[in-house]
């Protein structure tokens, strides 16, 4: 950051608007649109805080989270009149990002468009070649790169000198070397929640992950050391860097005091991986006696009695586990590096500590058969689970599975379909209909059990403010099955 500060001081200041492309709930969640969430996009919240801190006039428009139509986004863009438009996109939204960039350039010919996020980090060159409306792409972590880039765009240095970008010159698309990850995240300002219109009341986190409102999602660590072959880790890779316990808890206190947030959803891939930090966060929360509840993702082989008990005492109510499959062979094939026995133990420990368990499952794995689908079904029905999510295996570009897809099945490589719900990958020996039917059966038979319905009724009675979103979710669930 020091390095970036020195660079930026050499240039004149540009005006930047960070945005996400408009993306309908239907595109994102298909028939489950009613249960879908609209959660602020943390990447651009973080970047906005950084550019603002360094004196750049900064605007933020999270069109995806606000369910804003493209026309409304473009109208707002014209009003703001930035020099630079910074778009954040996933694979699902990259085509929409390109459409916005192209439309914007028609009425703002001098506008520079920078794109960042998971998709461009996975396939930077191909994407830049496909979409000419993007001027520069930022690969990986964006905080240092955006500061340096804004300076360069004012003419201070050539683009060839900026690490972590892909750009165009007379000879075509050029890719510079990647920028090293930040070593200390605590130097970053907190996400610019205050720039987010209507936060937190205007946003609705996933109903299955929220116990009360208002709620906020947080990502407090970056990178994952594991290598599941279907997972896109192109932004932060295997690096494991994190905000300190003190930083995390101060951020929660700010959200609690200033914005009234009472529920936190930790979306970190590896929230419980850093055990010392986890226990320190819990201890600080216990000491502060805040009236909050929270949930997080957990890796199976990192659950132990000490941490789940501490988590419960500190206000945690749910852990979501990436179980993926009920077949040991499939778990090996996808390199999950956990056994079914470890999964059962973790779910049991968490249940005994009084936490609710959510399991993420995927259908359509490489090597999937009707028998392995049945094993997953049996696992779902027999395990101490309180919630599940069953998605379609989606080999995102940049993943090992994308490169090896033809070994295992047929892939529809259409980026616009990659929302985890469309069947873009069908393993040899199965049909799309086999996968859809298996998915429906798992969801239907799991949820239509009296104790699961009873839990939801209790949840609604305990938090009447959640009734509307629970009903919306229930209606979508019924439609989808």
Q: Using CB under 6 A, which of the segments 26-34, 47-55, 226-234, 278-286 binds ligand SF4?
A: 226-234
Q: Using CB under 6 A, which of the segments 228-236, 260-268, 404-412, 426-434 binds ligand SF4?
A: 228-236
Kindly state whether residue 295 participates in binding ligand B12, applying the rule CB under 6 A.
no
Calculate helix-pair angle for 340-352, 305-313, nearest 10 degrees: 40
User: What is d(CA 128, CA 135) in angstroms, rounded to the nearest whole number?
Assistant: 8
Farthest-apart Cα atoms in the chain, separation: 66
Site for ligand B12 in 337-396 (CB under 6 A): 396
Find which of ligand SF4, ligand B12, none residue 399 binds, CB within 5 to 8 Å per kind. none
Considering beta carbons, is residue 86 or 118 the nearer one to ligand SF4?
118
**CB atoms inside a 10 Å sphere around CB 449:** 11
Closest to 16 (Cα-Cα) out of 66, 61, 74, 68: 61
User: What is d(CA 226, CA 231) in angstroms, rounded to the nearest whole number?
Assistant: 9
Q: Are 312 and 355 in contact (CB under 8 A)?
A: yes
Find which of ligand SF4, ligand B12, none residue 173 binds, CB within 5 to 8 Å per kind. none
Q: Are 447 and 453 in contact (CB under 8 A)?
A: yes
Shortest approach of ligand B12 to residue 328 CB, angstroms? 23
∠118-143-147 over CA atoms, to 5°?
Answer: 125
Kindly state whether residue 235 participates in binding ligand B12, applying the rule CB under 6 A.
yes
Q: Using CB under 6 A, which of the segments 77-85, 87-95, 209-217, 223-231 binds ligand SF4?
A: 223-231
Considering beta carbons, is residue 202 or 313 the nearer one to ligand B12?
202
Closest to 338 (Cα-Cα) out of 303, 305, 301, 388: 301
Shortest approach of ligand SF4 to residue 307 CB, angstroms? 17
Kindly state whether residue 221 participates in binding ligand B12, applying the rule CB under 6 A.
no
Kindly state whether residue 192 participates in binding ligand SF4, applying the rule CB under 6 A.
no
Find which of ligand SF4, ligand B12, none residue 116 binds, CB within 5 to 8 Å per kind. ligand B12
Considering beta carbons, is residue 157 or 351 the nearer one to ligand B12?
157
**434 φψ region: left (φ > 0), alpha (ψ -120 to 50), beta (else):** alpha
Strand partners, 363: 392
Q: Between 19 and 58, how does the x/- string for binding to ligand B12 read (CB under 6 A)?
A: -x--x----xx-------x-x-xxxx-xx-----------
Find which of ligand SF4, ligand B12, none residue 228 binds, CB within 5 to 8 Å per kind. ligand SF4
Site for ligand B12 in 55-84 (CB under 6 A): 64
Considering beta carbons, is residue 243 or 446 the nearer one to ligand B12?
243
How many of the chain's residues bind ligand B12 (CB under 6 A)? 41
How many of the chain's residues bind ligand SF4 (CB under 6 A)? 9
**CB atoms inside a 10 Å sphere around CB 314:** 21
Q: Which of 27, 96, 112, 233 binds ligand SF4 (CB under 6 A)?
A: 233
Q: What share of the chain is helix, strand, coil (3-state, %, to 5)?
A: 45, 15, 35
Q: Are 355 and 315 in contact (CB under 8 A)?
A: no
Q: Are 88 and 79 in contact (CB under 8 A)?
A: no
Kindly state whether residue 386 participates in binding ligand SF4, applying the rule CB under 6 A.
no
Q: Which segments within 48-201 are labelled E, that is strand? A: 57-62, 84-88, 112-116, 136-138, 165-169, 172-175
Shortest approach of ligand SF4 to residue 226 CB, angstroms? 4
**CB atoms inside a 10 Å sphere around CB 154:** 16
> Which helix H or strand E contains 47, and what residues bound it?
helix 42-53
Q: How far is CA 354 from CA 50, 315, 476, in A?
A: 39, 11, 29
Kindly state whether residue 123 participates in binding ligand B12, applying the rule CB under 6 A.
no
User: What is d(CA 324, CA 343) in angstroms, rounded to the nearest whole number?
Assistant: 10
Find which of ligand SF4, ligand B12, none residue 322 binds, CB within 5 to 8 Å per kind. ligand SF4
Kindly state whether residue 308 participates in binding ligand SF4, applying the rule CB under 6 A.
no
Kindly state whether residue 322 participates in binding ligand SF4, applying the rule CB under 6 A.
yes
Considering beta carbons, is residue 38 or 391 the nearer one to ligand SF4?
391
CA 33 from centre of chain: 17
Q: Which of 228, 242, 249, 346 binds ligand SF4 (CB under 6 A)?
A: 228
**CB atoms inside a 10 Å sphere around CB 387:** 18
Kindly state whether residue 269 participates in binding ligand SF4, applying the rule CB under 6 A.
yes
Closest to 16 (Cα-Cα) out of 69, 59, 79: 59
- 3-class secondary-structure state, position 429: coil
Find which of ligand SF4, ligand B12, none residue 356 binds, CB within 5 to 8 Å per kind. none
Shortest approach of ligand SF4 to residue 413 CB, angstroms? 21
Considering beta carbons, is residue 81 or 225 the nearer one to ligand SF4?
225
Residues lying near ligand B12 in the complex (CB under 6 A): 20, 23, 28-29, 37, 39, 41-44, 46-47, 64, 86-88, 90-93, 114, 116-119, 122, 138, 141-143, 146, 217, 219, 231-232, 235, 267, 269, 396, 419-420
Residues lying near ligand SF4 in the complex (CB under 6 A): 224, 226-228, 231, 233, 269, 299, 322
């Amino acid at each position: 950051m020091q390095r970036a500060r020195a660079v930026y001081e050499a240039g004149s200041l540009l005006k930047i608007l960070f945005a996400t492309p408009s993306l309908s709930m239907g595109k994102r969640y298909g028939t489950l649109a009613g249960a879908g969430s609209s959660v602020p996009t943390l990447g651009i919240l973080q970047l906005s805080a950084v550019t603002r801190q360094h004196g750049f006039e900064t605007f933020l428009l999270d069109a995806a989270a606000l369910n804003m139509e493209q026309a409304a986004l473009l109208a707002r863009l014209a009003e703001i009149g930035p020099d630079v438009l910074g778009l954040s996109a996933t694979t699902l939204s990259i085509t929409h990002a390109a459409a916005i960039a192209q439309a914007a350039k028609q009425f703002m010919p001098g506008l520079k468009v920078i794109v960042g996020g998971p998709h461009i980090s996975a396939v930077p060159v191909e994407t830049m070649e496909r979409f000419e409306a993007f001027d520069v792409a930022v690969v990986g972590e964006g905080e240092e790169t955006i500061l340096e880039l804004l300076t360069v765009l004012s003419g201070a240095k050539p683009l060839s000198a900026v690490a972590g970008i892909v750009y165009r010159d007379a000879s075509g698309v050029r890719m510079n070397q990647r920028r090293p990850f930040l070593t200390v995240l605590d130097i970053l300002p907190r996400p610019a929640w205050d720039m987010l219109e209507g936060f937190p009341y205007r946003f609705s986190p996933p109903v299955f992950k929220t116990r009360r409102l208002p709620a906020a999602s947080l990502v407090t660590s970056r990178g994952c050391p594991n290598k599941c072959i279907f997972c896109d880790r192109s932004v932060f890779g295997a690096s494991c860097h994190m905000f300190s316990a003190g930083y995390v808890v101060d951020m929660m206190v700010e959200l609690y005091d200033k914005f009234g947030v009472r529920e936190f959803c930790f979306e970190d891939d590896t929230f419980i991986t850093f055990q010392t930090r986890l226990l320190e966060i819990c201890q600080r929360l216990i000491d502060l006696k805040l009236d909050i509840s929270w949930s997080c993702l957990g890796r199976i082989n990192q659950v132990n009695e000490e941490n789940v008990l501490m988590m419960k005492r500190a206000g945690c109510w749910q852990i979501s586990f990436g179980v993926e499959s009920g077949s040991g062979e499939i778990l090996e094939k996808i390199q999950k590096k956990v056994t079914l026995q470890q999964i059962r133990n973790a779910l049991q420990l968490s249940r005994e500590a009084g936490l609710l368990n959510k399991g993420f499952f995927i259908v359509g794995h490489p090597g999937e058969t009707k028998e392995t689908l049945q094993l997953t079904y049996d696992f779902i029905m027999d395990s101490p689970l309180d919630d599940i999510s069953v998605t379609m295996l989606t080999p995102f570009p940049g993943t090992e599975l994308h490169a090896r897809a033809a070994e295992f099945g047929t892939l529809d490589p259409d980026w616009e379909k990659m929302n985890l719900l469309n069947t873009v990958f069908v393993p040899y020996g199965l049909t799309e209909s086999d996968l859809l039917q298996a998915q429906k059966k798992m969801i239907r038979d799991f949820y239509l059990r009296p104790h699961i319905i009873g839990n939801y009724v209790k949840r609604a009675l305990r938090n009447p403010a959640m009734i509307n979103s629970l009903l919306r979710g229930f209606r979508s669930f019924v439609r989808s099955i």
